[in-house]
Chain A
Amino acid sequence: EDQVTQSPEALRLQEGESSSLNCSYTVSGLRGLFWYRQDPGKGPEFLFTLYSAGEEKEKERLKATLTKKESFLHITAPKPEDSATYLCAVLPLDDKIIFGKGTRLHILP
């Protein structure tokens, strides 16, 4: 069965304290892996798409990496405005995207 597991469920960091969020997946065939940011009561905001193992993408303080079994979202020197829930999702061959439960990130000033 295709599934996505994110860890940790929640993470509290001090401003400037770098860390990584994990997304482990099992899928029959991976067409793409996505990272989204979701603020409370809002829709998921697209961050990155990764297609194959070894691929990396960067945007400001965020960097996403992909292996054959997992993806990491690295956050470097985070700021309070980076506080949000970060969602990982995979797109299998059947086109039914599967989301993880997300990691709630809280950055303390």
Chain B
Amino acid sequence: EPEVTQTPSHQVTQMGQEVILRCVPISNHLYFYWYRQILGQKVEFLVSFYNNEISEKSEIFDDQFSVERPDGSNFTLKIRSTKLEDSAMYFCASSFQETQYFGPGTRLLVL
């Protein structure tokens, strides 16, 4: 069964450094998403992406964040200058219609 994959599974970085989280969505899906989940809290929407542009974004998704689909398979989330509060699980998801399928996540720890 097709699934969303994410790399790396874990990432440790120093405050102020840039990180890129990578995702390979399910191949025939058209919509792509990033979410975050701070430990013990609920899953929060960050951004949705369709037809090579951002379709919606939350208040969390400020100028420090960017997304890109550099080729036909990858979907990336870049955090330009990480802060301590960016420490969280980051999930990528993809969908063909309404139902979103999630990847296993990247655990980001900012020191």
Contact = CB atoms under 8 A, between A and B. Distances in A.
Contacts of B98: 31-32, 49, 51, 91
Contacts of A97: 33, 45, 100
Please indicate which of the listed interface residues B43, B58, B100, B104 has the most CB atoms of chain A within 10 Å of its own CB.
B43
A87 B43 contact: yes
Interface string B38-82: 000111110010000001101000000000000000000000000
Interface residues of A, number: 24
A102 B44 CA distance: 13
A106 to B, nearest CB: 16
A96 interface: yes
B28 interface: no
A55 interface: no
Which 4 pairs, one residue from A and one from B, show the smallest C-beta to C-beta distance?
A43-B102, A32-B98, A99-B43, A44-B102
Interface of B: 4, 33, 41-45, 48, 55-56, 58, 89, 91, 98-105, 107
Given A99-B44, A101-B41, 15 more contacts: A31-B98, A36-B102, A41-B105, A41-B107, A42-B104, A44-B102, A46-B99, A87-B42, A94-B56, A95-B56, A96-B56, A97-B33, A97-B45, A99-B45, A100-B42
